[in-house]
Amino acid sequence: MSKSVVINLGHGDLKQGFPRVSAQLWVSGHPLPEQFIGSLPSAPHLLDLYQHWRIIYENLCSRKVIRNVPDDDELEIAIAGVTNVSQFSFDDLCQQLETAMNAWLNSPELASLSRQLRSALDKSEDIRVILETSDDLMRRLPWHRCGFFCDYGRAEIAIAQPEYQRKATLQAKKRKSIRILTILGDSQGIDLEAEVQCLKKLNYELNNECNNHQLNNQLNSQVIFLKNPNRQELNTHLWDNLGWDIIFFAGHSRSEGSTGRLHINSNQTNNSITIEQLEEGLKAAIDNGLKLAIFNSCDGMGLAFALSKLQLPSTIVMREPVPNLVAQVFFNNFLTAFAIEHLPLYSAVQKARRQLQGLENDFPGASWLPVICQNPAVEPPTWLTLGGIAPCPYRGLFAFREQDAHLFFGREQFTRDLVAAVKKQRLVAVVGASGSGKSSVVFAGLIPSLRQDSNCNWEIVSFRPGNNPITALAAAMSNVEAQRENLSSLLRLREIDLEIAFKHDIQALYRVIDRHIQQNPRTRLVIIVDQFEELYTLCPESERQHFLELLLTAVKDAPGLTLVMTLRADFYGHALSDRTFSDLLQ
């Protein structure tokens, strides 16, 4: 059972207080809501704290690669007099703002509303909380840090305008796949390649899923890329008769009062556009079924405000300037949760937002940035309601993958034994007949179990040897080595460097792993070599021997490493023919 809480702050602001706050509780299956009434006192100190927080945040952000093109004068005023900003002082300020918000929300004037609302909610349920306000400052506060969301871990907040309508589409949906219009705007000083590759990978995996299920005449998704468009090109695509389900923008943007400006290309003139200048095209897209807009760019509250006037169902934006890497990681994690795992929109955003906390040593405040802006009159979309094809729980001859873990059953005891072996041993071989489920139990059983281990950070690297196992290993390890440099060009350079090192020095892999573990002392690294028999069926003998020595040297000497291999039983004798390998397998 899903529940929605719609909170209306009414008239007021932090200086004067909010004399009438209402909370409506909507429960699926019940056509009418319950309503609770309260009020909130003035809290001008919150205004001062947030403004101070934003100044410090922008100062820290100015040292990173971010996705807006700020007005020079505004930036100069905003950070005037701010010097010697440290992450420690910023973390302390975050805590002060969080504490002050919770103290304000625990005011006696709101106690009755809070008590009645909590008594009607279950902590195990998904809860959509929608805050209706037209006040820009109230939209920007970190509501997700309030005590309510700590107590109700499956609740996520969205922002809405107090006035909204349900807008019917002009015609029944004709398209057979989810259509995504991807607008790649001005990318000066930033890298958008990660989002491009993420969408291409998603498109390939979802449509490959259709082929696997013999839905050869049907596509799960269709992604159209529009790079550096001019106004006319963008407008033409918005008017496409087939319509769009999702619009995604990556590039530079900024808020301008109650609207937002997108920098759509890098031309000298006519390089940016406001939502109002796209109004008719956006209305046409909404009439044709547009349900979700994602702006993976800076300071998007103005964009969301302008789109809410057009009654767009759901928008995802960043409240403040966003560092390039933070935007990339959020989008990848959101797409995985929404399109692959089929989580509801609010749950997918919550998961992707929370995962950003892992970046906050380098990007303070990252998990405070993403926010949903919702039209409360419309149900938020899911991947399936947009037209996505439900996953088939029967994989046939195809192996289960990590994202199929919720469909994988029947090997629970073997999975527990495998997890125990990985925690104790340096080399673990999963041996069985062809088609017996070796890869499935590793990817859908072992890996999800390790990721749930709260006592250790398990880092997983996997690859298949193919006909060039050293190249495959270098590609897999480059992601570990360059995880902070999430740029395709740098990853490729690192991959080439590793491949050269691996080919000339059997100690190279050991040194890479040793350095990585020393820099991440709570990390255990698991290297999975799937279909290990390819070493004997596809790889030349000379390269096979060097690869084995490279791998086994690391297994024997590198701290915090476990090698897991899946191997067909009819090739087990080949593996035992190598004495070092044989000793480790015993």
Q: Which tens digits make up the pLDDT trace of 122-132?
A: 988 999 999 99
Average pLDDT (257-268) is 93
pLDDT at 510 over 50: yes
The residue among 435, 463, 575, 452 whose CA lies nearest residue 526 is 463
pLDDT at 240 over 90: yes
In this predicted structure, what is the pLDDT of residue 1? 60
**Residue 144 and residue 356 in contact, taking contact as beta carbons nearer than 8 Å:** no
pLDDT at 568 over 50: yes
In this predicted structure, what is the pLDDT of residue 214? 47
Q: Which residues contact 255 (CB under 8 A, 6 or more apart)?
A: 261, 299, 300, 301, 302, 303
What are the strands of the beta sheet with 457-463, ordered from one edge? 427-432, 561-568, 523-529, 457-463
- On whether the pTM is more than 0.75, the answer is no
In this predicted structure, what is the pLDDT of residue 484? 44
Range ranked top by mean pLDDT from 206-210, 395-399, 560-564:
560-564
User: What separation in angstroms does the CA of 235 have from each of 51, 179, 247?
Assistant: 37, 16, 13
pLDDT classification of 493: cutoffs 50, 70, 90: low
What is the rounded distance in angstroms from the CA atom of residue 481 to the CA atom of residue 527?
Answer: 14
| Strand pairing category for 18-27 and 3-8 | antiparallel
pLDDT at 505 over 90: yes
pLDDT at 305 over 80: yes
User: What separation in angstroms does the CA of 193 have from each of 205, 222, 489?
Assistant: 18, 18, 9
Alpha helical stretches, state H, 363-453: 383-386, 412-424, 438-440, 447-451
pLDDT classification of 179: cutoffs 50, 70, 90: very high
| Strand pairing category for 314-318 and 252-256 | unpaired
Q: Extract the tokens encoding 33.
A: 């809501």
pLDDT at 71 over 60: no
**Residue 248 and residue 184 in contact, taking contact as beta carbons nearer than 8 Å:** no
pLDDT classification of 272: cutoffs 50, 70, 90: very high
Instruction: Please compute, for residue 326, the number of CA atoms within 13 A of its CA located in the half-sphere on the CB side.
Output: 31
The residue among 67, 305, 288 whose CA lies nearest residue 174 is 288
pLDDT classification of 69: cutoffs 50, 70, 90: low
Q: What does the pLDDT look like over 427-486, one tens digit per residue?
A: 999 999 998 999 999 999 999 999 988 888 899 999 999 999 999 999 889 877 554 444
Q: What does the pLDDT look like over 43-62, one tens digit per residue?
A: 999 999 999 999 999 888 77
pLDDT at 83 over 60: no
In the predicted model, what is the mean pLDDT of the chain? 88
What are the strands of the beta sheet with 370-374, ordered from one edge? 34-40, 18-27, 3-8, 127-132, 155-160, 370-374, 314-318, 292-296, 246-250, 178-184, 221-227
What are the strands of the beta sheet with 272-274, ordered from one edge? 252-256, 259-263, 272-274
pLDDT at 151 over 70: yes
Average pLDDT (338-344) is 91
Range ranked top by mean pLDDT from 85-94, 290-299, 450-459:
290-299
Q: At what angle do helices 508-519 and 469-481 cross, to 10 degrees?
A: 20
Average pLDDT (173-177) is 70
Range ranked top by mean pLDDT from 168-182, 208-222, 570-584:
570-584
Residue 102, H or E segment = helix 87-105
Average pLDDT (163-171) is 78
